[in-house]
Structure 1
Amino acid sequence: MRIKTAQTLVEEALKEIKTINTDEAFKIVEDNNCNLIDIRDVRELEKEGRVENSHHVPRGMLEFWLDPNSPYFQQGKLDRNKEMILFCAGGMRSALAAKSLKDMGFEKVSHIDGGFGAIKQSKFKIV
């Protein structure tokens, strides 16, 4: 049995998911056509700040919180009809997370190339 590396998993995910840059993401957010989801760990948010109007869904809870039967999802915190745009610190976890959401059946899913590092250099407001 051959064990895949994390890098291999990311490379495979990138072939199946939509990757957008920060300018594309900013436009979609500005047009109110998405749920901007920060999957970083809570310690990363405390240290680096968070993106204004983003939803925090830790990577370890993503599949559980976005399960249609979960209280989080049923409370309407996320609009299931809008695109789910994910980001992490650098873009690797969000690539895996976006693939996971696609595997769950979400059709409008993307992730931001370069993650929070790229977002800090863009038009997004960090709070």
Structure 2
Amino acid sequence: MAALKRSSAQMVAEARARIEELDSESAIALHGAPDVVFVDLRDVRERQRMGYIPDSFHCPRGMLEFWVDPDSPYYKEVFGQTDKRFVFHCASGWRSALSVALLQDMGFEAAHLRDGFSGWHKAGGPMVPPVDPAP
């Protein structure tokens, strides 16, 4: 395979240099605030396997641009709340960093959880426990 022009790690580093990142402790302190929306970009199977942040809005990464764009037929009203602060997360912070940089390019301001859900869990953040897999 030919070398890539930019690696995924480089893209994440570039995104992180220009977006707002929150550490787990800061994000945990925001949880439950009426003006904050946590958005989970992970696949539904990740949420079932790992658990999730209570009251987080699930937006699969593949639908993000379409759900945020008011001109898209897939637009979700949750993203039209201009009085809310949005904090995006994935499992480790890579997908959410790229996502928030992309949203910033679209004109949608948001932050992301630097260490992802794994950091949130490790820091003792509240969570809905994993669903037991079917036997």
Unaligned 5+ runs, structure 2: 130-135
CA contact 2:66–2:75 (8 Å) conserved in 1:
no
CA contact 2:51–2:127 (8 Å) conserved in 1:
no
Aligned-pair CA distance for 1:2 = 6.0
Q: For 2:73 and 2:57, locate their aligned partners in 1 and report how far apart those are by CA, in whole Å.
A: 15
Q: For 1:28 and 1:55, locate their aligned partners in 2 and report how far apart those are by CA, in whole Å.
A: 15
3-state SS, counterpart of residue 78 of structure 2? coil
Aligned-pair CA distance for 1:72 = 5.4
| Root-mean-square deviation over aligned CA pairs | 1.9
Please give the TM-score of this superposition, normalised by the length of structure 1: 0.87
Mapping for residues 1-127 of structure 1, pairs under 5 Å? 3-70=5-72, 73=75, 76-78=77-79, 79-107=81-109, 109-121=110-122, 122-127=124-129
CA contact 1:18–1:111 (8 Å) conserved in 2:
yes
Q: For 2:18 and 2:74, locate their aligned partners in 1 and report how far apart those are by CA, in whole Å.
A: 27
Unaligned 5+ runs, structure 1: none
Q: For 1:52 and 1:114, locate their aligned partners in 2 and report how far apart those are by CA, in whole Å.
A: 17
Percent of aligned positions that are identical: 35
Q: For 1:5 and 1:18, locate their aligned partners in 2 and report how far apart those are by CA, in whole Å.
A: 21
Q: How many residues align?
A: 125
Structure whose alpha-carbon radius of gyration is higher: 2
3-state SS, counterpart of residue 42 of structure 2? coil
Q: For 1:71 and 1:17, locate their aligned partners in 2 and report how far apart those are by CA, in whole Å.
A: 27
Please give the TM-score of this superposition, normalised by the length of structure 2: 0.83
Q: For 1:99 and 1:81, locate their aligned partners in 2 and report how far apart those are by CA, in whole Å.
A: 20
3-state SS, counterpart of residue 111 of structure 2? strand
Q: Greater helix share, 1 or 2? A: 1
